Amino acid sequence: MARGTAVASPVLHVRATVRDVPHAKRRATYEDLMQVPDTKVAEIIDGELIVSPRPASPHANAASLLGVDVAGPFHRDPSDPAGPGGWWVLLEPELHFREDVVVPDWAGWRRSRMPVLTDVPFFTLAPDWVCEVVSPTTGRIDRSRKMRIYGEAGVPSLWLVDPLARTLEVYRREGDRWIVAAVHGGADVVRAEPFDAVELAIARWWLPDATG
């Protein structure tokens, strides 16, 4: 090569394809949720469509009897002598908190905050209490993302019931965090806030072989 001869640097041409360009994941919409069959539980959490199976018998038994024990005395007018009353306690209500759509196993509103239970497809007013009956398929989300969503929405009281471990965990919202108010298990007879006006014999929530 002669001295002083210029050599052109090779130019690398790269053609971008659609596959090369990252795309933001599409956020789930309410229309997506409506396409899920009724045999599943559908929620939208942090923009993601979460579909869970309907509960197995330990979960269904615990949720049913918990509802009898709590809704029975509290889902009444405060003047009802069979009280103490003062709550609306609902099974699997659909809650809308901004873009999140969540379905707790149970939720309750004090009638002092929601005097009338109206005919609506979902609720935007945060409950005063929510309860999740956790299962192996839902426990991780219940204990992390859904607890955060409930806290951010202003729910002051939350229960986590584990029918396999036979435990009731009671949480109270203080500031920006959940505080463990109490943990009960087995055959305990308890008074658990915010329903501590009555005793709950939680042993009846468990199947005989729930720990097996």
Per residue in 131-141, pLDDT (tens digit) is: 999 999 899 99
Least confident of 14-18, 22-26, 81-85, 174-178: 14-18
> If pLDDT is split at 50, 70 and 90, which confidence band does 1 have?
very low
- CA atoms within 13 Å, Cβ hemisphere of 56: 12
Domain spans, the chain: 55-205
Cα gap 112→36, rounded to integer Å: 35
* pLDDT per position as a tens digit, 177-203: 999 999 999 999 999 999 999 999 999
- Is residue 163 a contact partner of residue 59, using CB atoms and an 8 Å limit? yes
At 26 the pLDDT is 84
At 20 the pLDDT is 46
* DSSP secondary structure string for all residues of 21-39: S--PPPPP-HHHHHTS-TT
* pLDDT per position as a tens digit, 25-76: 789 999 999 999 988 999 999 999 999 988 899 999 999 999 999 999 999 9
At 100 the pLDDT is 97
Helices (DSSP H) in 81-122: which residue ranges?
Answer: none
- Is residue 194 a contact partner of residue 182, using CB atoms and an 8 Å limit? no
At 171 the pLDDT is 98
> Which is higher by pLDDT, 26 or 204?
204
CA angle 87, 90, 96 (to 5 degrees): 105
Residue 110, CA distances (Å) to 2, 59, 104, 165, 181 in order? 92, 26, 17, 30, 20
Longest CA–CA separation in the chain, Å: 109
Cβ within 8 Å of residue 26, ≥6 positions away: none
Cα gap 116→135, rounded to integer Å: 33
| Superfamily per CATH, domain 55-205 | tt1808, chain A (3.90.1570.10)
Cα gap 100→47, rounded to integer Å: 7
Paired tokens of 72:
């029975």
